[in-house]
Amino acid sequence: MNEIGSFNEWNEKLEQEPQLLLFVKTDHCSVCEGLYPQVNALTDDYPFPFYKVNVAEVPEMAGQLSLFTAPVVLLFHQGREMARFARFVQMDQLRQRLDELAEWGRTND
């Protein structure tokens, strides 16, 4: 999973990538640490990039994306948020939405 280091970098990725996943974490978050390996394990299963950001290091992201907790998993299609999972993420629901996102990408090629 590639790391986002600034809000400008995030905007560039959002413009460049037709679809992507963003994993948002913060410092001293045990839920974040527990969820990250589960989400990271999915990267090879999908044809779009996965990114992560630590909002303690890039606080603009929290304000710009209206993030009030961590972890948060966001799915984007054509620069727009299509799904948001916050705090306690149900992996089966996340996988279902990732499958939908992958299908949208195949039908739009």
Inter-residue contact 38 to 76 (CB < 8 Å):
no
pLDDT digits (tens, 9 = 90+) for 14-39: 999 999 999 999 999 999 999 999 99
Please report, as a single letter, which amino acid is at residue 87.
R
Inter-residue contact 48 to 20 (CB < 8 Å):
yes
Look at the domain 2-107 and name its fold: Glutaredoxin (3.40.30)
pLDDT greater than 90 at residue 51: yes
Domain ranges of the chain: 2-107
Instruction: Count other Cβ atoms within 10 Å, centred on residue 54.
Output: 19
Q: DSSP state, 4?
A: P
- CA–CA distance, 45 with 24 (Å, rounded to integer): 20
**Lookup result for tokens 């990725």:** 13
pTM of the model: 0.93
Helix (H, G, I), strand (E, B) or coil at 41: coil
Which pLDDT belongs to residue 104? 78
| Confidence grade of residue 76 (pLDDT, cut at 50, 70, 90) | very high
pLDDT greater than 60 at residue 109: no
pLDDT greater than 60 at residue 13: yes
Which pLDDT belongs to residue 61? 92
Average pLDDT of the chain is 93
